[in-house]
Amino acid sequence: MDSLLSIKNLKVGFSQEEKTVEVVRGVNLDIGHNESLVLAGESGSGKSIMSLAITKILPANARIIAGEVYFGGKDLLKLDEEALVDIRGSSIAYIFQEPSSFLNPVYTIGSQISEAIMLHQHKSREGAGFAALELLQQVRIDDSERIFRSYPHQLSGGMNQRAFIAMSLACKPKLLIADEPTTSLDVTIEVEILQLLMQLKMELGFSLLFITHNLSIAKRIADRVSIMHQGKIVEEGSCAEIFSSPKHFHTKELIQAYEKIGRL
Amino acid sequence: MKNYALIIGIVIIIMLSCIAIFAPLLSPYDPAAINQDSLLLSPSSQHPLGTDSLGRDLLSRIIYGARISLSVGLVAVGIATLIGLLVGSLSGFYVGLLDLILMRLVDVMLCFPTFYLILAVTAIAGPSVFNIMLIIGLTSWMGVARLVRAEILSLKEREFIQAAQAIGATHSRIILRHHIPNALTPVLVNATLGVSAAILIESGLSFLGLGVQPPTASWGNILIESKSTLGVAWWITVFPGLSILITILGFNMLAEGLKKEIG
C-alpha cells in the first residue's frame, strides 16, 4: 500500500527509576495520502504519546523502545535532531488540545506565526508577517489585523485554536496531527473548528491524523478509524464498518458511550 | 492598594540617573579642582555641602561620584546577568552531565567569601573602574544562574515549549526565544537587588583603597578621605554616606515594588 506515513511496531515507554513502563506497545498504523484517520481511544491509551513519538518530541522521561516510522522513504526514528527539526512544522505539523497554553504568552499571535514561517522558508520578517496575515484570513479570522497584534491571553480559546492552526499550516505540511484539538472548546466552537479543518484539508490537501476519545467526531470527519486500547491498536476499519459492526469490546464501549450521550 | 515602593523606587532612580547623566551641568565646581582658600568649609550658600581637606567642593564630588556608582552597579549586574542566563539556561535545558558540572561550579563559587576574593583579585589585577565592574560581575552571577535554571526546569513542562518543538524550532531558538523571555521576571527583580549590592561592594572597595582611585571621585573614596577629618568636618562623612543609603534604598524599593507588581 502506498502510504504517506507508516508506523511499524512502535513501542514507547516511560522510565521510572530502574523500570520502564511501556505505554505504546507495538503499534502499526498507516496513513494514506490525503486521508483523514481518526485514532480513538480512552484517556491513557497511549494515543498522544504515540503521536509525539512520530517526530520525537516526547517528554524527557519517555523514550522510544522499538519500531520504525517511515515518512517519505525515511525512518524518522533513525534521523538525527538536525534532520528532524527540518521535518517538524514543514512536513509534519501538530495542533494540540489547549490552544491558549500552547501559544507562547510573551509574543503576539502575528509574531508566532511569522516565526513558524521563517523557520522553514527564506523570508524577511516583513514578508513572513504578510504571509502570517494571509494565513489568519485563510483560517477564517475576520479581523485578522487585530488578531495579528493580539497576545494569546486576549483571545478566546476558539480564536487561539484558529491562530494555532494557521501557525501549523504555515509551511503547508503533508501531515497534520491533531491531538484532541477541540476537547477544551465548547460545542459550537468545536463544530466550527472541525468544519474549518475539513475545509482546509480540501483546499490544501494534507493528510490528517485526528486523535480523540469522542467517536461522534470520528463519524463526522473520518475516512478510517483506528481504535487504540492500552497501547495497542485493537480495531481498524472504515468509518462505516466500525460503527455498523464493531468487533472489539473497547470499540463497543466507545460507541455505547457515544450513543448514551446521543440519547440524553 | 497603590504600589508605593515601586513609585518611590522609580522616582529615586530616575533622579539619580539624571544627576549622573547631567553631572557636568549640575555640579557647581570642578570636582577635582583644589582650592587652598576653601579648606574644610562647612556647608554654606557657596558650597551647599561644604568642602573637603583639599578645598574641593563636596557637592560636585558627590554628583560625579553618582556616575561611578551607577555605572559600576549597572555594568557589573549586566555582566552577572548575562553569565547567569547563559549558565542557568544551559543547565536547565540540558539536564544531565552538563547540568551537574555547571551546578557544582555554582556551588564552588558560592563557597568563596566573595568580598575577599574580589579584594585579592583587585590587588593583583590593579584597581581600575573597569576591573571592578568585571570582577563584581564575575563573582555575582551564581544567584541568577540558579534562578534561571529553576525557571527553565518548570517552563520545560509547559505546553508552548512543546509547540515550539513541534513547529521545528532548534534548541538554541527554543532557549533564546521561548525559555529566556519567559524566565526574565525573577531575573529582573534579582538584577535590581544586584545593582544595590554591587554599589555597596564598590563603595567598600573604594573605602579600603582598592576601588576607584583618586582623584576620580567615588562615594567610597570620599568616605575614606573623610576619616582623618571626621572630628572637625562631619559633612564629608555624612553626605556621601547618605548618598549611598538613598541609592541602595531606591534600588531595593524598586525591586520590592517590581516583585509585588509582576510576581
Distance separating alpha carbons of residues A84 and B169, to the nearest angstrom: 10
Question: Mean of the pLDDT values across residues B55-71?
Answer: 92
Phi, psi of A81 (to 5 degrees): -55, -40
Longest Cα–Cα distance of chain A, Å, equals 55
Q: What is the mean pLDDT of residues A69-92?
A: 91
Q: Are B85 and B93 in contact (CB under 8 A)?
A: no
Percentage above 90 pLDDT, chain B: 56
In this predicted structure, the answer to whether residue B263 has a pLDDT above a threshold of 70 is: no
Of A86, A93, A120, the CB nearest to B166: A93
pLDDT digits 0-9 by tens, B155-204: 988 889 999 999 989 999 999 999 999 999 899 999 999 999 999 998 88
pLDDT tens figures, A59-69: 888 889 999 99
Residue A107 with chain B: CB contacts under 8 Å: 181
Task: Inform me whether the pLDDT recorded for A258 exceeds 60.
Answer: yes
From edge to edge, which strands make up the β-sheet containing A207-212?
A: A92-95, A175-179, A207-212, A36-40, A224-229, A232-238
Give pLDDT, residue A1: 53
Give SS3 for A71.
strand
Q: Of A58, A88, A179, A180, which to mutate for an interface test with B (greatest number of B Cβ within 10 Å)?
A: A88
Mean pLDDT of chain A: 90
- Inter-chain Cβ pairs, chain A and chain B, closer than 8 A: 67
B79-125 pLDDT, tens digit per residue, is 999 999 999 999 999 988 999 999 999 999 999 888 888 888 888 98
Give me the mean pLDDT over the A98-120 stretch: 92
CA dist., res. A13 & res. A64, Å (int): 6
* Residue B106: closest CA among B83, B122, B75, B82: B83
Q: Are residues B230 and B247 in contact, defined by beta-carbon separation less than 8 angstroms?
A: no
For residue A222, what are the contacts with CB-CB under 8 A and spacing of at least 6? Answer: A36, A37, A38, A210, A239
Q: With cut-offs at 50, 70 and 90, classify the pLDDT of residue B212.
A: confident
How far from B130 is each of A104, B79, B144, CA to CA, in Å?
Answer: 39, 12, 22
Global ipTM: 0.85
Pick the closest to residue B134 from B87, B79, B85 (CA basis).
B79
Query: Hey, are the CB atoms on B167 and A103 less than 8 Å from each other?
Result: no
Q: Please give, rounded to a whole number of angstroms, the shortest distance from the CA of A243 to a CA of chain B.
A: 33
Q: State how far the Cα of A175 lies from the Cα of A6, in Å rounded to an integer.
A: 12
Angstroms from A255 CA to nearest CA on chain B? 31
Indicate if the pLDDT at residue A263 is higher than 70. no
Q: How confident is the model at residue B20 (pLDDT cuts 50, 70, 90)?
A: very high
For residue A21, list its beta bridge partners.
A14
Is the per-residue pLDDT at A93 higher than 80?
Answer: yes
Grouping H, G, I as helix, E, B as strand and the rest as coil, residue A237 is strand
Q: What are the C-alpha distances in Å from B76 to residues B68, B69, B83?
A: 12, 11, 11
Query: Residue B190's pLDDT is what?
Result: 92
Q: Cell numbers at residue B151, please?
A: 525557571
Distance (Å, whole) CA B149 – CA A28: 39
- pTM (2 decimals)? 0.83
pLDDT at B1: 66
Backbone angles phi, psi at B205, to 5 degrees: -60, -45
Whether residue B227 has pLDDT greater than 80? yes
Q: Which three cell numbers stand for residue B213?
A: 582611585
The pLDDT of residue B140 is 92
Which has the closest alpha carbon to B157: B100, B66, B209, B95? B95
Grid cell at residue B115: 568580598
Tell me which of A263 and A190 has the higher pLDDT. Answer: A190
The residue assigned the cell 556616575 is B67
Distance between first and last Cα of chain B: 16
- Residue A20 has a pLDDT of 86
- In the numeric block, the cell 450513543 is attached to A259
B31 vs B20: CA distance, rounded Å: 13
- Cβ separation A89–B156 shorter than 8 A: no
Q: What is the pLDDT of residue B38?
A: 80
By DSSP bridging, strand A92-95 and strand A175-179 are parallel
Q: Contact B162/A106, CB-based, under 8 Å?
A: no
Q: Over 70: is that where the pLDDT of A262 sits? A: no
Adjacent-strand bridge partners of A179:
A211
| DSSP structural state of residue A41 | -
Q: Do B167 and A96 touch (CB under 8 A)?
A: no
Q: What is the pLDDT of residue B104?
A: 95
pLDDT band with cut points at 50, 70 and 90 for residue A264 = low
